[in-house]
Structure formats: C-alpha cells, structure tokens
Amino acid sequence: MSVQVPPRRIVSLAPALTEMLYALGVEERLVGVTDYCDYPPEALKKPKIGGAVNPNLEQIVALQPDLVLAQALTLNRRETVDALERLGLAVYATSSQTVEGVLESTRHVGEVTGSGERGEQLVTQLRERLSQLKQRLAGRAQRRVLFVVWHEPLISAGRNTFLTDALRLAGAESVVETSQDWPRLSLEEVVRQQPEFLVFASAHAEGVERTLAELKDRPGWRDLKAVRQHRVAIVSDAINRPAPRLVDAIEQLARQLHPTAFEEKSATQNSSAMADEIRSVATRTQL
Amino acid sequence: MKRLTFRRVLWTCAVLVVVLLGAVVLALKLGAVPISVTDLVLSLGRVAIGRSAELPSQFQVIVFGLRLPRIILAIFVGAALSVAGAGFQALLRNPLADPYVLGVSSGAALGAILSLILAPEIPLVTPAAAFAGAALTITAVYFLGRREGQLDGSTLLLGGIITASFLSAVIMFLMTTLAGRDLRGMAFWLMGDLSTPLPEELRWVFGVGLAVGISAIYSTAADLNLLLGGENEAIHLGVDVRRVKLVVYLAASVLTGLAVSVSGAIGYVGLLVPHAMRWLVGSDYRVLIPASALGGAIAVVLADTLARTIAAPTELPVGAMTALAGAPVFIYLLRRRMR
C-alpha cells in the first residue's frame, strides 16, 4: 500500500496501534479508537468505534478516515478488514509474532502515517535499549519462567507469540513449549517443570499478590518452589501489547529476574545465582 | 378455528408485509451514526426516482452500503429460521423443536471452524465449509433417524440430539487444542452475528435456496395439517406421510444450513416465531408458513437493530438480543396458552 499524502484522519482498531500512534506523535490526527484503547489515558477521550473484534463499521465510515490501522492475525478479524476495504477505505494491517516484528511494525506505521523520521528515531532508540539490555544480561543463564496469562484455568503463551520472544529478551525462557498461541496447561506438568519464576502481567501488583495468597495453599500451586519462595515477577501489562512500551516491560522484567545485572559496579561479578535469588525476593517484598 | 380462506391468507400476509416494511425503515434510520428522518426520506425518494448518484457519499455508504445489506441478510435469515422451525415442529411433533435441535448448526459451526484452521485465506471458504458441514450432518442424522425405512420422529430427535452434542464436543476440542488467532471471531459465530454482509456472489444462491426451501415446505402445508391429527389418521386420509416427512426434513435442514452458514446460530427465532404466529394467525400451516417467514424476518430485523444501537458504538451479537427478548416472550406465550 502506498499513501502519497500523509493521512489526516486515522482510525485505530487496536490498543497497541493507538499506543504506537501516540508514540509517533501523530495523536492529533487520530480520530477514532476502540473501546479498549486505554493508554495513554488521553486515548480514552477519543471517539470510540466499538470493540476490536466487532467494530462498528458505520461509525468508522462516519469518521471519514483516510487510513484505518488494523492488527491482523492477532486481534482484528479478517472479515472486518475485508469489509472496510470493500467500502473503499485504505486499511493498513500490521502483524507481529516477535519483538523485532513489533519494532518493524512501528517503523512501518511511522512511514504510512507520514512520520517516518520520528518512527526511525523511536525504533533506533528502542533497538539501542534492547542491545544494552542484551550486553547486561550477557553470560547469565536464562531464567526458566512460567508466564501466567490466566491462573484458573492455567493459560500461558506459546512459542510463536511476541510475548514469549519478549521473555527471551528479558533473560528468561518459558517452560512452555508449544505451537499453540494461548495453551491451557496442566498444573502437574508445571509442577514437573518447576519454573524458577512465575511471571504475571498486571497494572495492579496488589491484585496479583491477592491471587498468590489464595493460590499458595492449593494443591499443585503449593508444590511449586516459585510459589513457596515467592519468586514472582510482576510486569506492566504493556508486555501483552505489541507496541513500543513492550521494551519498557522487557526491561522491567529483566530487572526483576536478574537484579545483579543492573548494579552499577560490576564488582559483584562473583555473585552467584543464589544471591540473585535473595535479592529478587527482597525486591518483590518492597513492592 | 375460523375457516381459512385465500382472502384471509392474503390479508394476513399484507399486514405482516406492512409491519416488515416499517421495521426495515426503522432499521435504516437507527444506528450508531444518527440520521434524521428527513434525510432518510429524501434519500429513499432519490433512490426511488433513480437519482441515487446525487446522494452524499458518506450517507450512501452508511445507509445503502452497510445498513441495507445487513437488513436484507436479517430478512433472509429470519425467514429461513422461522420456516425451518415451523417445519421441524410439525415433523417431530414436538413444540420444543427448533432449527438447531437436529445438530445442523453444530455441523455448520464445525465446518466453519475447520475452514478457519485449515484454509482461512480462501475467499468464501467459511460459508461454503459451514454449509458443507450442515449438509453432512443432515445426511448423517437422516440415516440415524430412519426406522423401518422411513423417518421416525422420536428416533430422528434422539439421533439429532446425540449428533449435535457429539459435534459440539469436537468443536470444544478443536477450540481448546488449536486455539489460535484465527479463531477469535469464532465466539461471535457460535452466538449468531449479522455483521458480515452476505457476499454478492452468494446473494443469488441464498435467495434461490430460500425460495425453494420455503416453497417446498409450503407445498406440504395441507398434508401437515392432517398430520397434526396423528400419523395413522393422515395415512388413512390419503397423505403420503413418508414423502411429506422427507420433503419437510430436507427443506427445513437446507434452510437452517443456509442461515447458519452466513450468520452463525441465532437462537430462539426458529423456536419462538412459529409459536407466536400460531397464536396470532392459527395453526393452519397454509397461513402459518408464510406468516412465520414474514414474522421471522420482522423479528430478526428488529433484534439486529437493537443489537446495533443499544450499546452503540459497541455492537452486540444479534443472538444475545434474540435470547434476551425471546425467553420472556416465550414464557408469556406459554402462560397465556395455559390460561
């Protein structure tokens, strides 16, 4: 797709795309968002076009957009994109299954919205931060983690999601190895795997703590070392969205999983994994 | 029962057609984007005199590009489901029968979900696969439902119910083990949803299928009336019961399959509308079938208008609306009949 003139009226069909547009500084031209676009908070004030899976087509048409952004494959339905194109609207669809893919989408969205330069800068900065993080984590063993998407029933993320890729960049590897995107797991398999850390994504740490307090006496959960020793990382829910803030979430997670890697002096090179663990528990208690 | 005259059938249909037109105008007017009555009347007038090119483009897209195709789909689906429901209720001699009781919708849903997993990129594959799933289910249930060489109401019902629950189990299995990105719209599909307009290529197929199905059931109307008095009595009165059952079974199944393949399983319409129409126009199938077709169209057009506007701009699935409105109406009719 080629957009000759920068679009002046943009509709976003996904929370991640809305975030991306704000990060690219084109929010003035954003005229419609979904019911779920809650970041940044100003996005809540934009005109709504309904849900992401079932957007209101006539509302989109009424906003007279010259560009509609969709998150194909992972959120918006193909029928929606087809219907909008049949109505003669320009639709640009992104889809990313890796962190690199998210960065590329950011760059592309920058290009199609006429803020290519800002997009390049943003992506360069994000890449820089990721490579610094990679250096910090160099030589450290990957933490074996269980990413808890939902605890009852237990749902985690499969290997083809950008989320699992984000875990890798944060110095973690998922104990789940499946091509399903959002697999339902058996707790006994998790007990067998004994992940070093449980990772939760939430905007409210207290909520997760409450959940954990409930889970810790339940069979299965109480047999997890990570639960008994409270080795839990709570990251911002930005880790669930293929948008630039994903890099913030990756850094946040890396700090919790590998706290010693972030100490100013590298004198603590001799710190063992044991020390790492103690500190991470300490960090958690402070939260 | 009042004697049924051709005149009365015509009058009943005329009244229902007027109500349907009213519902259509209402559905054209209401939506997330406000449109004034004046604008609507003016634009309808322009279209009527063949000067639709003068319409403001945005207006044209919303009213004629989005709302009208959706209303047409609602009319087709509503008519198909209600007539199928009336047919199944007569065939199974069970007032609780609805178009989905024999598993046609589960078969269609399974076809749709398989197409989404295996070949989502082929155009029109989902409605085609849904219809294929429905057709296979119809055939399988037909063989399960035969006894001594002909369809037997209770055997058919049991065969259909067990097929439906088996297929639902397969769907659940597929949804939990293969759950991925493309299945996101599946929930809407299972609940019934009219937001995807009928593709133009399919409009004729659908229209012809609907006409043939309804006419086929209508052609048996007089025999269905006699069947109300019992199967043996009907045989003595010269009804070819075996043929009537086969025609009604096939036509009602095809109507259901067509409806499900383009809109998912919209509940309650096929159960409720025939009952409401029996109460309004009597149980003579010669008037009940056309009345059900029109009544079903009215019900779905109104339900979808509610679904589009009640939480606008958020759209609710029309199936949620028909269930919300349908259950209380059903209870009302039930209580009334007992009094």
Residues B222-232 pLDDT 10s: 999 888 888 88
Model confidence, pTM: 0.83
Selecting from A53, A62, A182 the residue whose C-beta is nearest the C-beta of B62 gives: A62
Q: Give CA–CA dist A144/B84, Å, rounded.
A: 56
Is the pLDDT at A150 greater than 90, yes or no?
A: no
Q: Which CATH number fits domain B6-338: 3.40.50.300, 2.40.10.340, 3.90.420.10, 1.10.3470.10?
A: 1.10.3470.10
Select from B58, B181, B194 the residue whose CB has the most chain A CBs within 10 Å, as the one to mutate to test that interface. B181
- pLDDT > 70: percent of chain A: 90
Q: Chain-wide mean pLDDT for chain A?
A: 87
| Number of domain units in chain A | 2
The number of angstroms, rounded, from the C-alpha of B224 to the middle of its chain's C-alpha atoms is 20
Q: Give CA–CA dist A74/B180, Å, rounded.
A: 8
Residue A5 resides in a domain: no
Selecting from B62, B120, B180 the residue whose C-beta is nearest the C-beta of A58 gives: B62
CATH number where A108 lies: 3.40.50.1980
Which residues partner with A33 through β-bridges?
A48
Q: Give CA–CA dist A121/A107, Å, rounded.
A: 9
Q: What is the pLDDT of residues A48-105, one digit of tens each?
A: 999 888 899 989 999 999 999 999 877 888 888 988 998 889 999 998 889 999 999 9
Is the ipTM, as predicted for this complex, more than 0.85?
A: no
Q: What is the pLDDT of residues B251-278, one digit of tens each?
A: 998 899 889 888 888 888 999 999 999 9
Spatial CA neighbour of A255 closest among A235, A241, A272: A235
Environment class of B127 (CB within 10 Å of its CB; exposed 0-12, middle 13-18, buried 19+): buried
Is the pLDDT at A267 greater than 50, yes or no?
A: no
- Say yes or no: A90 and A202 in one domain: no
- Say yes or no: A113 and A238 in one domain: no
- Quote the pLDDT of residue B190: 76
Kindly write down the DSSP assignment for every residue of B211-258, as one continuous string.
HHHHHHHHHTHHHHHHHTT-HHHHHHTT--HHHHHHHHHHHHHHHHHH
Provide the domain limits for residue A26.
10-126
Residue A242 resides in a domain: yes
Which residues partner with B151 through β-bridges?
B146
Nearest-CA residue of chain B relative to A51? B314
- Say yes or no: A39 and A118 in one domain: yes
- pLDDT > 70: percent of chain B: 93
Mean pLDDT of A255-270: 72
Residue A134 resides in a domain: no
Q: What is the pLDDT of residues B4-23, one digit of tens each?
A: 788 888 999 999 999 999 99
Beta strand A67-71 pairing with A10-12: parallel
Residue A155 resides in a domain: yes
Sign of the CA dihedral A213, A218, A224, A229? positive
- Say yes or no: A19 and A54 in one domain: yes
- Quote the pLDDT of residue A285: 47
Is the pLDDT at B168 greater than 60, yes or no?
A: yes
Q: Chain-wide mean pLDDT for chain B?
A: 85
**Three-state SS for B146?**
strand
- pLDDT > 90: percent of chain B: 30
pLDDT: is A205 or A287 the higher one?
A: A205
Name the residue with tokens 């005199």.
Answer: B49
B158 Cβ neighbours under 8 A, 6+ residues apart? none
CB of B113 within 8 A of CB of B171?
yes
Lowest-confidence region among A132-146, B136-150, B295-309: B136-150
Residue A27 per-residue DSSP state: G
Within 10 angstroms of residue A242's Cβ, the number of other Cβ atoms is 30
Q: Which amino acid is located at A7 in the chain?
A: P
**Three-state SS for A271?**
coil
Sign of the CA dihedral A108, A112, A113, A114? positive
Select from A57, A59, A71 the residue whose CB has the most chain B CBs within 10 Å, as the one to mutate to test that interface. A57
Name the residue with tokens 């799933």.
Answer: B133
How far B36 CA lies from chain A's nearest CA (Å)?
14
- Say yes or no: A52 and A146 in one domain: no
Name the residue with tokens 């269905």.
Answer: B224
Is the CB of A54 less than 8 angstroms away from the CB of B179? no
Residues of A in contact with B33 (CB under 8 A): 58-59, 61-62
**Structure tokens, B182:** 């493309």
- Quote the pLDDT of residue B61: 80
CB of A194 within 8 A of CB of A225?
yes
pLDDT: is B247 or B52 the higher one?
A: B247
CB of B264 within 8 A of CB of B192?
yes
- Quote the pLDDT of residue A287: 43
Q: What beta strand segments (E) does chain B contain?
A: 146-147, 150-151
**Structure tokens, B20:** 């349907």
Residue A29 resides in a domain: yes
A interface with B, Cβ–Cβ < 8 A, is 35, 48-51, 53-59, 61-62, 64, 73-75, 77-79, 83, 87-88, 180-184
Distances from the Cα of B210 to the Cαs of B73, B85, B118, B129, B270, in angstroms? Answer: 12, 14, 29, 18, 15
**Cis ω for the linkage preceding A40 (within 30 of 0):** yes
Residue A115 resides in a domain: yes
